[in-house]
Structure 1
């Protein structure tokens, strides 16, 4: 009897500590805006700005700012860490946190509107940086029914410049958001 009780207790402890559990959110999943990492063009928000970028480190970042009639203003930062491989298998770590623009959501959206990003196209002569640090940006923007996206490289050294419209976007991201750089 005692052995059966001990076995039952061990089974409960082992099964409860095995992995993170999913929770059912019955009405929350009917709509989604920028809080989920789904395609921006397909979400239900009135406004979504998503900047996916890597500044020549092992961390990829996704900043998403959205405005939705149901969920209101939302800001998210997703960081994807590429860790050293173990047994030839890549390892990743994910951190997601809420994020608010320094100037506030309304003012940030006004700044995006004033930059006229819907007319920006992919950077011409889009080159992969070899033997030099560079940062890669992919910007997605949805305003009501209009959707646009583009990509560009921005060099990290001040001696090499990119086109002013791309530099303006990079400056806006670094001025509006505080995110850790994890550099020594």
Structure 2
């Protein structure tokens, strides 16, 4: 057992966590349907941060935390509107996965299978981005309403809606979109 710990320590020294790895693609699939380009992200846990890029104010960045390791942060950009495109809004939904997805939670020492995953869609006239987040599942459970994670995730989503609609110059529906989706789907 001690040898295994020594090897793990040596591996950390050889491969430090903060070392820049090759840029990995955040999107698992890009498809074209009816002249609309649809991007699908890999499955992530939840949001890390988001906002208008300080260096390039025509970009809205969204950072996501990894599903296996929440310290792994991946990011993508939503660009300002151009060439007869239009921001149609934010939509939420649940999608059945093509293949079951095995998730190991090392903190709780448990493994579970995802057969469906909740998503947030950023819809545009010429395309869209489907962002799959396993953390959205907690919003649909009535017994989780009082938890701090539930309240934090809900406030993050409301802030994302507010900032993104302001970025595209659109009026956000009263009260936001996520509370209505939760009310309709919560069990």
TM-score range, shorter chain: under 0.3
What is the TM-score of this pair, normalised by structure 1? 0.26
